[in-house]
Amino acid sequence: MKEKKMKKIEKADELIRLNKYLAMCGIASRRKADELIQQGRVAVNGEVITQLGIKIDPRKDKVTVDGKPVKPEEKLVYIVLNKPKDCITTVKDEKGRRTVLDLVKVKQRIFPVGRLDRNTTGVLLLTNDGELAYRLMHPKYKIEKAYKVEIDKPIKPEDIEKLKRGIMLDGRKTEACDIYILPDSDRKELGITIHEGRYRQIRRMFERLGYKVRKLHRVSFGGITVSGMKRGEWRYLTEKEIRKLKKLVGLE
């Protein structure tokens, strides 16, 4: 009886969730992979899967995305791009606009870690390590993101305090953040550090208080910067930087 039970346990351990498998294949993060599944773009052994939470046997099952077979990436790559304006943070754009993958050309299938809106510049990570990407974007890990913001008029001292304490967005208060006025900026340029990643969060925070964001630049993400890099330039992360990111999310 014990031997039979052990075999069942071993077999169960060989199964993994479909979204995790897609992440291992460098298709997308687990969250984005769930979207692909729900859109009916993923098939297992020829059968389209739309239900989330399905497990597969990676040794036997054949998985396709948009009809193309996928398999785990042999080499994991980690890249930082100094994203320029007028560039879409996505793998491809239906309207034919320039995407970040038009700038970063590598053999591996990579995807952006999170999003920066079209006119936001600065640090953007790209990888084919789905597990790391998933954790970096998960609210649980509170990854630090630092920005430089330029607004249309001098900010009031009381509004700085409001931003520090949190602003109501979508019926939910933003978490406390660090914010300070940059020197010689007439109170129009600020540094702000957040630990969330809501949709257009910083722009919406300032808009809520009556300010228009003219420029938004991400200075760092989890301590990774684009210091010394021109807009549109990219580089591979160093081993030290990779270890640092993995440590932040409990992978090392």
pLDDT band at 150 (very low <50, low <70, confident <90, very high): very high
Task: Give the pLDDT mean for 185-199.
Answer: 94
Task: Tell me what pLDDT residue 41 has.
Answer: 95
Radius of gyration, alpha carbons of the chain: 21
pLDDT for residue 1 is more than 70 = no
Express as a percent the part of the chain with pLDDT over 90: 78
Q: What is the pLDDT of residues 112-147, one digit of tens each?
A: 999 999 999 999 999 999 889 989 999 899 999 999
Task: Tell me what pLDDT residue 13 has.
Answer: 57
Task: Tell me what pLDDT residue 23 has.
Answer: 86
The residue among 198 and 192 whose pLDDT is bigger is 192
Task: Tell me what pLDDT residue 2 has.
Answer: 43
First-last CA distance in the chain:
37
Domain tally, the chain: 3
pTM: 0.80
88 by DSSP, 3-state: which? Answer: strand
The residue from 57, 117, 178, 186 that is catalytic is 117
pLDDT for residue 166 is more than 60 = yes
Residue 4 C-beta-side C-alpha neighbours within 13 Å: 1
Q: What integer best gives the mean pLDDT of the chain?
A: 91
Q: What is the pLDDT of residues 21-55, one digit of tens each?
A: 998 888 888 888 999 999 999 999 999 999 999 99
* Residues making up the chain, counted from first to last: 252
Q: Verify that 216 and 148 share a domain, yes or no.
A: yes
Express as a percent the part of the chain with pLDDT over 70: 95
pLDDT for residue 101 is more than 90 = yes
pLDDT band at 7 (very low <50, low <70, confident <90, very high): very low
Q: Verify that 236 and 168 share a domain, yes or no.
A: no
Distance separating alpha carbons of residues 129 and 137, to the nearest angstrom: 13
Q: Verify that 51 and 86 share a domain, yes or no.
A: no
Residue 167 C-beta-side C-alpha neighbours within 13 Å: 22
Cα-based distances in Å from 8 to 12, 18, 22, 183: 6, 20, 25, 64
Q: Verify that 13 and 116 share a domain, yes or no.
A: no
pLDDT for residue 6 is more than 50 = no
Q: Verify that 182 and 197 share a domain, yes or no.
A: yes
CATH number, residue 8: 3.10.290.10
Task: Tell me what pLDDT residue 187 has.
Answer: 96
Q: Beta strand 178-181 with 189-194: parallel, antiparallel or unpaired? A: antiparallel
Q: Verify that 192 and 203 share a domain, yes or no.
A: yes
pLDDT band at 245 (very low <50, low <70, confident <90, very high): very high
Q: Verify that 217 and 233 share a domain, yes or no.
A: no
Instruction: Let me know if 117 is a catalytic residue.
Output: yes
Q: What is the pLDDT of residues 204-238, one digit of tens each?
A: 999 999 999 999 999 999 999 999 999 999 999 99
Task: Write out the residue range of the structural domain in which residue 153 sits.
Answer: 144-221
Q: Verify that 54 and 169 share a domain, yes or no.
A: no
Q: What is the pLDDT of residues 63-75, one digit of tens each?
A: 999 999 998 877 8
